[in-house]
Structure 1
Amino acid sequence: MQLKILTITSLSITVEINNDAPFYVPEPYLVYLNGVQVLENGKRNVFSLYELKPASIYELEVRTETETQKLEFQTLDLSYVLNVRNFKAYGDGVHDDTLAVQTAIMACPEHGIVYFPTGVYLVKSLFLKSDINIYLKKEATLLASAMRDDYAILPGTIRNKNDELILGTWEGNPLPIYTSLITGINVQNIMFFGEGTLDGNAQNGPWWINPKKKVLAYRPRGIFLNNCRNICFQGLTVQNTASWAIHPFYSENLEFYDLKIKNPAHVGNTDGLNPESCENVKIIGVHFSVGDDCIAIKSGKIYMAKNHRRPTKDLEIRNCLMEDGHG
């Protein structure tokens, strides 16, 4: 048994246990921080710890009946914390919190944290900003509006004299799509983490009825990243998305650690994580249970391949569980 740190924030750490078993360890373990037990009956090769103190040194110890391994780490320093409640977010699942949450994101200074305490935050599309952190506390949920009219449309392409800008993409072609619950376009250096949930709420909307049919535009994703880099998603649950749960497109240096991606097994085209024309992607310790492909590695269809010739390359995928879904 060997311990490897996957990522550290000011409030959390994700650790991978390297052994010969996929996803689940051969024997359960206990986890101690500075001599205090913080996790018992650990079963997965990848685990995360939260509510740590910023800029603090910890000794982490993993014990099984037959072996003990230790490592030392230091959490990152903490900059400003912007609590979305201070921006007039209600977190009651009834009021529309989009403006409050988006204001907190846009107001967040470099390396600051947008913080979601426990609650249900009803939102339309949210757009990411570079150089920030977003932390969803346990039992904090970003709940997508179920109304189609609440979503803007990203055009497939915008052209000038010499080139084209691809904004929306559907099934490998530049086509108009509705904006996603979380949308990132040309952003970088973002950590989105915590034990909270991103809930697409698709079961209460029109999205799963005739799912391949275009109604003004094609369905939104749970998370859509277009031309982004240095992005990490850690610990979150992503569920009930209108189509693919996570769709990185033309992006690089992406990390997806210790996530749970859940869509109903009977709903088609609800893929888990589909990197398209991306580079340097790590998918580690993710639990998939979806209605279509768990992971589909893409590089566009005929038009994209002919005109842009951008493959997906340099992927690491390990210690994942693919429950429902096509693998």
Structure 2
Amino acid sequence: METYSLVDFGARGDGKFDNTEVFAAAFAALKEGDRLNIGKGTYRSGPITLSGRNITLVFEKGAGIQFIADEDLYTPVFSRWEGVNCYCMHPCFLITESDGIHIKGDGILDGNGLWWWEKAKQVKSDPKRGPVSTMEKILAAHNPGYESQSGGGGGRHSQFLRPPLLQILKSNNIQLDGLTLTNSPFWTLHPLYSTNIILRNLHVLNPKDAPNTDGIDIDSCRFVTVKECVVDVGDDGIALKSGSGPDGISVNLPTTDVLIESCTVKNAHGGAVIGSETAAGLHDITVKDCLFDGTDRGIRIKTRRGRGGVITDLVFSRLRMRANLCPLTMNMYYRCGSLDPEDFSLLEKPVVPTTPRIAHVLIEDCIAEASTSSAAFIAGLPESPIQDVEIRNCRFSIAQDGLMPTEESEMYEGLPSVQERGIRARNVELRLLNVEVEGDMTAVLKEVGVTIIE
């Protein structure tokens, strides 16, 4: 077992020198049990890949990696992008086919995201824009049939498949502790097809207006712990996924056995989020003792026809939610990325392999204060009602001022508008035990297909 320093390989932490080859040489030298220290400084780099067994990286205080914003450097890798397996740009930092990687310390991974965000906004403003840049054309050639693939709206049509900041791919026993991840081009931290992951004391920070910059996306993984992390980002905070549509169903790798504990999420579109890529299913998820402060939604479950998957055995306990649009949403009419208006029909459709299902959800001992759109939004499908939802010992309150339209409660399509701000329920079996709703005369708005057990 050896201990190295990054400077042993010629690194310069002046924020100017390109250390891409330095990281490649250092990582290639590491053997099982070795340790690499990264000293104070800003190490500018292109994309880097770490693969190995029982390796430790230690960032000293003041140490950081800043990734170069040049899409031509991020040569295609086969991965998953917004729920679909395809070629996409190489992650800024990729941990792949590894076992026993531990990265710790006060280090910063900076994705240098501004250039990426500006281009993403330009691409999104023109829905008819196809591949234009050299990299986009390369990815289009690698991904035949991409035009018919659904996505969350991040860039599928143009093949501007920008990189996540840190991806953990097909790995086991990975631990991240103490890092700050910021300015991500796309999703920030993306464990994918991996097991036994511990994420502790991380700070994940992106501007609120940075598009598609989810904080932590746990994707077709098993046995994951997220503890004492702070997430403040421009999309969903801590999200759990398992692939989208037929592609996710064929891969058939669910996300299971996840614990999210003692975390704080601010400003994001959702605090603890399930979906919307749900094809292989998600089950045995526990979220407890967290604060969702100023997030658009707190507990957020989102899927729709075409996404598929069984979502079951979820527990949300002792959460505090403050100044949300809507603290609790279960939305099977999620609008983003659909290519078919029939996904949002109010009529009962045949149950097919891509019909999602939600069942066995417990929400207990939670407090939601000063919600500005509504107390809760729960909407199942006529052919797939949400089953066995229990809300107990919870209090929801509506804000006295600064109210927003009820349509802002969730990103849905096809449902009628309502004025009531209480718990909106549609196509759901719902048990309410000691639940208070303050600030609206209609505590529970009971629509079609609802069974309420009080």
With over 3 angstroms needed to count, the CA separation of the structure-2 counterparts of 1:192 and 1:298, relative to structure 1, is same
Matched, 1:202 2:145: no
Alignment of 1:190-229 (within 5 A): 190-205=101-116, 208-209=120-121, 210=123, 212-214=154-156, 216-229=159-172
Matched, 1:280 2:223: yes
Q: Which residue of structure 1 lines up, in the alignment, with residue 25 of structure 2? A: 103
Look up the equivalent residue of 1:245 and give its one-letter code. T
Q: Which residue of structure 1 lines up, in the alignment, with residue 75 of structure 2? A: 152
Look up the equivalent residue of 2:18 and give its one-letter code. D
TM score, norm. by length of structure 1: 0.70
Aligned residues: 237
Deviation at 1:208, TM superposition (A): 4.1
Q: Which residue of structure 1 lines up, in the alignment, with residue 56 of structure 2? A: 133
Q: Aligned to 2:258, which of 298, 307, 315? A: 315
Deviation at 1:97, TM superposition (A): 0.4
Q: How many angstroms apart in 1 are the aligned matches of 2:2 and 2:76? A: 33
Q: Which residue of structure 2 lines up, in the alignment, with residue 92 of structure 1? A: 14
Larger radius of gyration: 2
Deviation at 1:188, TM superposition (A): 1.3
Q: Which residue of structure 2 lines up, in the alignment, with residue 271 of structure 1? A: 214
Q: Which residue of structure 2 lines up, in the alignment, with residue 118 of structure 1? A: 40
Deviation at 1:93, TM superposition (A): 0.9
Matched, 1:175 2:86: yes
Q: Which residue of structure 2 lines up, in the alignment, with residue 241 of structure 1? A: 184
Q: Aligned to 2:200, which of 226, 238, 257? A: 257
Contact 1:176–1:217 (8 Å) recurs in 2: no
Matched, 1:298 2:221: no
Look up the equivalent residue of 1:213 and give its one-letter code. G
Deviation at 1:216, TM superposition (A): 4.9
Look up the equivalent residue of 2:67 and give its one-letter code. A
Residue segments in structure 2 that go unaligned for 5+ positions in a row: 125-153, 272-454
TM score, norm. by length of structure 2: 0.51
Q: Aligned to 1:185, which of 85, 92, 96? A: 96
Look up the equivalent residue of 1:243 and give its one-letter code. F
With over 3 angstroms needed to count, the CA separation of the structure-2 counterparts of 1:191 and 1:207, relative to structure 1, is farther
Q: Which residue of structure 2 lines up, in the alignment, with residue 82 of structure 1? A: 4
1:248-289 CA deviation, whole Å, 9 max, x = no partner? 111100010000000110122100111111000000000000
With over 3 angstroms needed to count, the CA separation of the structure-2 counterparts of 1:198 and 1:264, relative to structure 1, is same
Indicate the structure whose relative CO is greater, using CA pairs within 8 Å and at least 6 residues apart: 1
Runs (4 or more) in structure 1 with deviation over 6 Å come to none
With over 3 angstroms needed to count, the CA separation of the structure-2 counterparts of 1:199 and 1:128, relative to structure 1, is same
Q: Larger deviation: 176-185 or 135-144? A: 176-185
Q: How many angstroms apart in 1 are the aligned matches of 2:70 and 2:11? A: 20
Aligned CA RMSD, in angstroms, stands at: 1.5
Query: Secondary structure of the equivalent of 1:296?
Result: strand
Deviation at 1:308, TM superposition (A): 2.1
Contact 1:207–1:219 (8 Å) recurs in 2: no
Q: How many angstroms apart in 1 are the aligned matches of 2:119 and 2:19? A: 22
1:131-190 CA deviation, whole Å, 9 max, x = no partner? 211111111110000111111111xxxxxxxxxxxx321111112211111112211110
Deviation at 1:217, TM superposition (A): 4.9
1:238-257 CA deviation, whole Å, 9 max, x = no partner? 00001110111111000100
Question: Percent of counterpart pairs with the same letter?
Answer: 29
Q: How many angstroms apart in 2 are the aligned matches of 1:239 and 1:189? A: 24
Query: Secondary structure of the equivalent of 1:168?
Result: strand
